[in-house]
Amino acid sequence: MRDSDVPKPDADERVMTKAWVERGLSLPCSEFFLSILNTYGLQPHNIFPNSYLLLSNFATLCEGHLGIRPDVRLWQFFFRVKKETKDKAMVNCGSMTFMLRPGRMYPPHDSHESVWYWNARWFYEKNITVLGVHEGLPTFVNEPPEERDSWSQLNTLAEENFRTILRAPVSGDAVEDPEDDDEGEERVPRKAAPRPTKRPRAKASGSEAGGSSENTH
């Protein structure tokens, strides 16, 4: 951004763009989105708009179809970072794009579309915190990100970690086993309930069976 075009939000404001909102970003932002910013060391404007749609689709896949909370480790398993540069220097707006890793099986998605002048359509919005959870979006800094190991290294998912992710319910509530009221007592095998005895069917009378006891003349 040029100095004359650089946003200057107040302390309680954050910079948003029309392209982000159209692709799923809203305030208060999700814990998953903040974990993406923290893991990769990003400001929201460092992420190219098409990747916002990819992030939204991933969250929908986890919450709506798999019934789990979106997890940045699972995200890293499927997606890699593609750096955006100009004259061998990293650009400020749209510094990176997330791409599906080669060989990964993932539901079909269309995340590539032309977004012209998206960084010029910005506006201010009050930052919203979630008490006891997070402080909202980071304060705006008009700089490109510094590359981190997380950009190139795959955070390998150990089997036990992968199972933990898949067992995490969307609500965040812990899944507890039902309490056993007879804890400490010897369990006695339950007898199978007897099957109900079939009652013999009553024979139908001649009229009910379709016959007649009277002769017709």
Walk along the chain (217 residues) and give the pLDDT tens digit of each residue.
444 478 899 999 999 988 888 888 888 999 999 999 999 999 999 998 889 999 999 999 999 988 999 999 999 989 999 998 888 888 898 889 999 999 888 888 765 566 666 777 888 899 998 888 898 999 999 999 998 888 887 766 666 666 676 666 665 444 444 344 444 444 444 444 445 455 555 554 444 444 444 444 4
Coil, strand, or helix at residue 86? strand
Beta-sheet strands, E only, within the chain: 13-17, 79-83, 85-86, 89-90, 96-100, 122-126
Q: How far apart are CA 127 and CA 27, in angstroms?
A: 7
